[in-house]
């Protein structure tokens, strides 16, 4: 990562508890951490719901120390040129371990069994006898030889799929958008489901590891339950919105779904039969919180100091070695002749371009231009104003 001397102190606001080692990435000479500020240059967040927050100037970037960004108004950020980052894979191991733990524990009725054992407190010498008589209520099933369906073979899904094979399960995976990197890391013993229906029909256990989007919302519902084997166990460590909760309550009542293990309890979920409610602990390990915080903070710092973008969910990855020359970083619509218009605005000030890069993502693009000459502070507002006049400009920063 490049190191740059900032000529002003930038404010970082945190909306959740962010691991200390992540916050330490921000050198105190150049950054203040102020959680009350409404003039923050950047925000570090985990699951705090930002959907209704005002995104006040001078906010330039938001980093989600974690994977899911459904708590962030990403589209609104894009329209304002605010870069949203997440930390791919940084908490995947933590989630994988809890998925496999709860898959086995729920299959063995461990949660109910432990809760029942606690109720025997006070029974004195009778307890061993009561235990032996009562344990038949909690007879479970082994996972060996059973089929696990994994929906979404990204950072978490791929780890779960590979390790489930080592637990002697059969594994079927479904992910129509699987990345090349993940495909390389996936064991060839993971069977590929060509359709999600195929996965539903053949799985004894189903675990879902996809983001919550308009396409995935409510993917577990009456119609999809009807395709599944009776007594299927469903694990949801992704997001509550993937499940139609009214339909899930019915499926649990009828035994179509044998158990629902979810990291997202709410009033409806807690009333369901055979539910295992976990208080969103998937990524809650010291290791994972540190990984995410450090990765998020480094990405933010790099962006604030050099304009380079890595692991954004709304703008392209862009990297140009930072030489300390004046850098003009522009967000704009991905339409013809933007770069030409931006460079001519710069040439109007008799400035020479040393280097540049342009990358697009969907409807938007990002251009960084390094200027060869020393840029006098007096002309900076003029350059900004000229570029801002161009139709399709979203935002501009001189670094
Ligand atoms: N419980 C927790 O604490 C916790 C922690 C981390 C992540 N999560 C949740 O888990 C999700 C997945 O995390 P990840 O790190 O594996 O993300 P990831 O981006 O690495 O993987 C997501 C995968 O889902 C696939 N996908 C997208 N739409 C799909 C669809 N319709 N059908 C099948 N596959 C589809 C993508 O191709 C990708 O491979 C996150 O979006 C987040 O919501 C929860
Ligand atoms: O999407 C994620 O990374 C998880 O849901 C973790 O959320 P948390 O950072 O609030 O624990």
387 Cα: distance to centroid of ligand 1 (angstroms) = 38
Res. 383: pLDDT tops 50? yes
Q: What is residue 302's predicted lDDT score, i.e. its pLDDT?
A: 98
Average pLDDT over residues 343-349: 94
pLDDT reading at 2 higher than 80: no
User: Residue 380: is its pLDDT beyond 80?
Assistant: yes
Q: pLDDT at position 350, please?
A: 92
pLDDT band for 6, please (50, 70, 90 cuts): low
- CATH T-level fold of 1-90+283-315: Rossmann fold (3.40.50)
d(CA 318, CA 308): 5
Place 1 in a pLDDT band, splitting at 50, 70 and 90: very low
Q: pTM above the 0.90 mark?
A: yes
295 pLDDT above the threshold of 70: yes
How far is the centre of ligand 1, averaged over its atoms, from the C-alpha of 220 (Å)? 15
The residue whose two tokens read 């969907």 is 362
Q: Please state the rounded mean pLDDT for residues 34-39.
A: 93
Full strand arrangement of the beta sheet holding 10-14? 31-33, 10-14, 42-45, 61-64, 83-85
Supply the DSSP symbol for 188. T
Contact 341, 309 (CB under 8 A): no
User: Does 8 score more than 60 pLDDT?
Assistant: yes
Query: What is the pLDDT, as a whole number, of residue 3?
Result: 46
For residue range 215-224, list pLDDT tens digits in order. 999 999 999 9
Fold of 318-399: Alpha-Beta Plaits (3.30.70)
Cβ atoms within 10 Å, residue 28: 9
Report the residue count for the chain. 399
Q: Work out the number of other CB atoms within 10 angstroms of the CB of residue 308.
A: 21
CB 359 within 8 A of CB 330: no
User: What are the pocket residues of ligand 2 if the criterion is a CB atom closer than 6 Å to any ligand atom?
Assistant: 46-47, 66-68, 91, 282-284
Tell me whether domains 1-90+283-315 and 318-399 share a fold.
Answer: no
pLDDT digits (tens, 9 = 90+) for 94-111: 999 999 999 999 999 999
Instruction: Please choose, from the candidates 328, 277, 288, the residue with its C-alpha nearest in 3D space to the C-alpha of residue 102.
Output: 277
Strand 61-64, strand 83-85: pairing:
parallel
Beta bridge partners of 10: 31
Binned at pLDDT 50, 70 and 90, residue 56 comes out as confident
Average of pLDDT values for 310-315? Answer: 98
Identify the helix (H) or strand (E) that includes residue 320.
none
Q: Which is the closest atom of ligand 2 to the Cα of 87?
A: 3
Q: Does 98 contact ligand 1 (Cβ within 6 A)?
A: no
Question: How large a percentage of the chain has pLDDT more than 70?
Answer: 98
Residue 216 and residue 219: Cα distance in Å, rounded? 5
Residues facing residue 261 across a β-bridge:
235, 276
Q: How confident is the model at residue 309 (pLDDT cuts 50, 70, 90)?
A: very high
132, with CB counted inside 10 A (0-12, 13-18, 19+), is exposed
Q: Read off the pLDDT of residues 194-228 as tens digits, 9 standing for 90 and up.
A: 999 999 999 999 999 999 999 999 999 999 999 99
- Report pLDDT for 325: 84
Secondary structure (3-state) at 164? helix
Give the residue-averaged pLDDT of 272-294: 98
In the chain, what are the domain boundaries? Answer: 1-90+283-315, 92-104+141-277, 318-399
User: Does residue 74 have a pLDDT over 70?
Assistant: yes
Query: Which of 22, 46, 263 has the most ligand 2 atoms within 8 A of CB, as the residue to mutate?
Result: 46
Give the pLDDT confidence of 126-177 residue by residue, as tens digits: 999 999 999 999 999 999 999 999 999 999 999 999 999 999 999 999 999 9
From ligand 2's centre to the CA of 288, what distance in Å? 10
How large is the average pLDDT for residues 23-38?
Answer: 95
Q: What is the pLDDT of residues 113-127, one digit of tens each?
A: 999 999 999 999 999
| Ligand lying closest to the C-alpha of residue 261 | 1
Binned at pLDDT 50, 70 and 90, residue 300 comes out as: very high
Ligand 2 mean position, distance from CA 219 (Å): 20
User: What does the mean pLDDT of the chain come to?
Assistant: 96
- Nearest ligand 2 atom, CA 16: 10
Residue 324 scores a pLDDT above 90: no
For residues 370 and 398, the answer to whether their CB atoms sit within 8 Å is no
Is 70 exceeded by the pLDDT of residue 357? Answer: yes
CA distance 340 to 348: 12
pLDDT grade for 375, boundaries at 50, 70 and 90: confident
Residue 5: pLDDT over 70: no
What CATH number has the domain spanning 92-104+141-277? Answer: 3.40.50.720
- In whole angstroms, what is the distance from residue 210 CA to residue 229 CA? 22
Ligand 2 centroid, distance to 47 Cα (angstroms): 6
Instruction: Let me know: does 241 contact 68? Beta carbons within 8 Å.
Output: no
């Amino acid at each position: 990562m490049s190191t740059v001397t900032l000529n002003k102190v930038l404010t970082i606001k945190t909306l959740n508890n962010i691991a200390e080692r992540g916050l330490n990435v921000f050198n105190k000479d150049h950054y203040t951490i102020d959680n009350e500020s409404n003039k923050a240059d950047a925000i570090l967040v985990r699951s705090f719901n930002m959907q209704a927050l005002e995104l006040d100037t001078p906010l330039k970037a938001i980093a989600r120390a974690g994977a899911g960004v459904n708590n962030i108004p990403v589209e609104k950020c894009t329209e304002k040129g605010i870069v949203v980052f997440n930390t791919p894979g940084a908490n995947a191991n933590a989630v994988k371990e809890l998925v496999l733990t709860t898959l086995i524990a729920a299959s063995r009725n461990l949660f109910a069994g432990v809760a029942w054992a606690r109720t025997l407190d006070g029974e004195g010498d009778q307890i061993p006898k009561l235990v032996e008589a009562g344990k038949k209520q909690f007879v479970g099933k082994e996972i060996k030889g059973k089929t696990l369906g994994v929906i979404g073979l990204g950072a978490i899904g791929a780890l779960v799929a590979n390790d489930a094979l080592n637990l002697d399960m059969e594994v079927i995976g479904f992910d129509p958008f699987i990345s090349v990197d993940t495909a390389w890391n996936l064991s060839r013993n993971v069977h590929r489901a060509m359709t999600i229906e195929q996965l539903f029909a053949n799985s004894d256990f189903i675990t879902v590891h996809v983001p919550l989007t308009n396409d995935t919302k409510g993917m577990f519902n009456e119609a999809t339950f009807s395709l599944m084997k009776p007594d299927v166990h469903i694990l949801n460590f992704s997001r509550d919105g993937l499940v139609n909760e009214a339909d899930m309550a019915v499926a649990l009542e009828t035994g179509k779904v044998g158990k629902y293990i979810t990291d997202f309890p709410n009033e409806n979920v807690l009333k369901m039969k055979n539910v295992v409610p976990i208080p969103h602990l998937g990524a809650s390990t010291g290791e994972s919180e540190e990984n995410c915080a450090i990765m998020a903070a480094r990405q933010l710092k790099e962006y604030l100091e050099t304009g380079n973008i890595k692991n954004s969910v709304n703008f392209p990855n862009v990297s140009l070695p930072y030489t300390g020359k004046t850098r003009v970083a522009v967000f704009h619509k991905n339409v013809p002749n933007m770069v030409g218009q931006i460079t001519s605005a710069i040439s109007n000030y008799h400035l020479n371009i040393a280097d540049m890069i342009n990358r697009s993502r969907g409807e938007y693009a990002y251009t960084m231009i390094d200027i060869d000459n020393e840029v006098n502070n007096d002309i900076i507002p003029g350059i900004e104003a000229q570029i801002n006049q161009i139709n399709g400009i979203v935002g501009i920063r001189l670094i």
